[in-house]
Amino acid sequence: MSSEIGVRETIFKRIGVHSHIRGLGLDEKGRALFIADGMVGQTKAREAAGIVVKLILEGKIAGKGVLFVGPPGTGKTAIAVAIARELGEDTPFVAMSASEIYSSERKKTEILMEAVRRALGVRVREKRLVYEGVVEKIELRRARHPLVPYMTIPVEARLTLFTKDDKVTLTLPEEVTHQIIEMGIKKGDLIWIDASTGRVFREGKARGVEKARYYDIDTKRILDIPSGPIKKEKEIVRTFTLHDLDFRFSIERSAVSIVSIFGIGVTKEIPSEIRKEVDELVKKWINEKKAELIPGVLFIDDAHMLDIEAFSFLSRAMESEFAPIIILATNRGIAKVRGTDIESPHGIPLDMLDRLLIIQTTPYSKEDIAEILRIRIEEEEIKISKDAFDALVEIGCNSSLRYAVQLLDPARILAMNEGRDEISRDDVLRAKELFIDVKRSVEYLKKYEEMFLK
Ligand SMILES: Nc1ncnc2c1ncn2[C@@H]1O[C@H](COP(=O)(O)OP(=O)(O)OP(=O)(O)O)[C@@H](O)[C@H]1O
Ligand SMILES: [Mg+2]
């Protein structure tokens, strides 16, 4: 394990339309404020989601599931995004659409297995012996390059670190010297070096170090000069996902590391023995109190697209020792379970439904729609006239909120084309003509069915 991997790397790639959502907008008693954190209305569903967040953070619903049901555009995906925001950095949150499991290159269960493993975090605490302090001086010793005689390369460094109470000069071997050069470590940086592995970490820059350079725009954190000894035991906390560990182990096992040649992730399968090994290791860490498991969330949108195989995989995954919380969302009523002839509520098999807490989202009132549109308009920094806004609200009520949200951008472009920066009522109506909603596209196809394919 050589580097920390952010557990949040897998968060929503398609977050665009939900960028205004900052949280669930609940007060300290868990009651939904009508408008807060970019959320509007849908108060029952948000309060229920708040309870789910509490249970997740307490580690109480690992292995269970939640299902969001409601008509299209009523905020199911938005609330799932809000849950992710509420959970904070350390809890893994993996979002996928059910359709992503159908790939020509990888097995469905392999894709799901990876998603499950990404949704399981391991927080590792380690006490390490380190040298920690502010850099006072770096002196490099250079030697002739072994192959290119007229070149010299740094082979050793003498590094002086200080704290409020201590000062030490370390002689560093070549590998550590190279890290120091590559990381651009300079006077005034607060760093620590792992005494046994030689890994160098920069925590930031110390405040007020004489002759150190400070910039008006500084990307480094400015910290106080620490006190105490330079050489000490430090508790280091890192969070990995089980998938990070699977991946790392499988690279180490393969003789040639194909994965790193071009720096491109290879979508090869991770052998199940490797996963078993990782599980054993993690269990051992947990028993030795070196690590704790953080069950995260696997969110599967449009869950009616999952098939019977996928559901049975997920049921099994929910029963296993390390299980994430599974959150599903769907807008279907009674539907066939994919891959079978069986009709079931929401297209989800009954034994799966049995394990799910169901949260309902309900259609919006005109006021809710107006409020949500107002927030989106602010978020996208769009200017719009009063009657254009009213027209958009009208569209939101008659077609769908989603459709009204989607018309914003085309209307903005139409206004821009005319050299205006404010959307007018005509722009909205024209956008509505150019981009039709589902209802109209179905009507159109029905009307012309005769003329289409026969
Ligand atoms: N209560 C809400 N507060 C603020 N924004 C909302 C709310 N509900 C929905 N939205 C926004 O409205 C749009 C449509 O909502 P969303 O995509 O969450 O609907 P959905 O229930 O997931 O629909 P579908 O069933 O079609 O997937 C999104 O831009 C979303 O961020
Ligand atoms: Mg959705």
Q: Is the CB of 76 under 6 A from ligand 1?
A: yes
Distance CA 425, CA 262 (A): 52
Please tell me the predicted confidence (pLDDT) of residue 12. 43
CA of 41 to the centre of ligand 1 (A): 11
| Best residue among 34, 42, 76, 382 to mutate for probing ligand 1, ranked by most atoms within 8 Å of CB | 76
Whether 206 is in the pocket of ligand 1, judged by its Cβ within 6 Å, is no
What is the spatial distance between Cα 83 and Cα 21, in angstroms, rounded to a whole number? Answer: 10
Of residues 379, 371, 399, the one with CA closest to residue 16: 379
Identify which of 20, 27, 5, 40 has the alpha carbon closest to the alpha carbon of residue 85: 20
Report the candidate in 274, 265, 299, 263 with the shortest Cα–Cα distance to residue 100. 299
Which ligand 1 atom minimizes the distance to the CA of 70? Answer: 21
Which of 18, 26, 34, 39 maximizes ligand 1 atoms within 8 Å of its Cβ, making it the mutation to test the pocket?
A: 18
Answer yes or no: is the C-beta of 291 below 6 A from any ligand 1 atom.
Answer: no
Nearest CA, atom 10, ligand 1: 75
Q: Which of 69, 74, 400 to mutate to test the pocket of ligand 1 (most atoms within 8 A of CB)?
A: 74
User: Residue 179 has which token pair?
Assistant: 């890290």
For tokens 């012309």, what's the residue? 448
Question: Ligand 1 in contact with 228 (CB < 6 A)?
Answer: no
The finding on whether 70 has its CB within 6 A of some atom of ligand 1 is: yes
Q: Is 357 in the pocket of ligand 1 (CB under 6 A)?
A: no
75 lines ligand 1 (CB under 6 A): yes
Contact 67, 358 (CB under 8 A): yes
The C-alpha atoms of residue 82 and residue 77 are separated, in whole angstroms, by 9
pLDDT at 135: 95
pLDDT given for residue 453 in this prediction: 56
Q: Which residues surround ligand 2, an ion (CB under 5 A)?
A: 76-77
Q: What is the pLDDT of residue 252?
A: 75
Alpha carbon separation from 388 to 327, 364, 396, 425, 432 (Å, rounded)? 37, 20, 12, 4, 12
**Cα 65 to middle of ligand 1, angstroms:** 21
pLDDT at 454: 52
CA of 113 to the centre of ligand 1 (A): 28
- What distance in Å separates the CA atoms of residue 180 and residue 332, rounded to the nearest whole number? 57
- CA 402–ligand 2 middle distance (angstroms): 10
Per-block mean pLDDT, blocks of 10 residues, the chain (454 long): 40 62 93 91 95 88 87 91 86 91 88 94 90 94 84 90 95 93 92 92 90 78 92 89 90 59 56 90 92 91 94 92 92 93 94 93 93 91 94 93 92 94 95 89 78 59
- Residue 76 Cα to ligand 1 midpoint, Å, equals 6
Q: Which domains does the chain have, with CATH numbers?
A: 7-119+296-360 (3.40.50.300), 121-289 (2.40.50.360), 366-445 (1.10.8.60)
Instruction: State in Å: Cα 55 to ligand 2 middle.
Output: 23
**Three-state secondary structure string covering the chain:** CCCCCCHHHHCCCCCHHHCCCCCCCECCCCCECCEECCEECCHHHHHHHHHHHHHHHCCCCCCCEEEEECCCCCCHHHHHHHHHHHHCCCCCEEEEEHHHHCCCCCCHHHHHHHHHHHCEEEEEEEEEEEEEEEEEEEEEEEEECCCCCCCEEEEEEEEEEECCCCEEEEEECHHHHHHHHHCCCCCCEEEEEECCCCCEEEEEEECCCCCCCCCCCCCCCEECCCCCCCEEEEEEEEEEEHHHHHHHHHHHHCCCCHHHHCCCCCCCCCCHHHHHHHHHHHHHHHHCCCEEEEECEEEEECHHHCEHHHHHHHHHHHHCCCCCEEEEEECCCEEECECCCCEEECCCCHHHHCCEEEEECCCCCHHHHHHHHHHHHHHCCCEECHHHHHHHHHHHHHCCHHHHHHHHHHHHHHHHHCCCCEECHHHHHHHHHHCCCHHHHHHHHHHCHHHCCC
Residue of 401, 407, 437 with the most ligand 1 atoms within 8 Å of its CB, for mutation = 401
172 CA to middle of ligand 1, Å?
Answer: 56
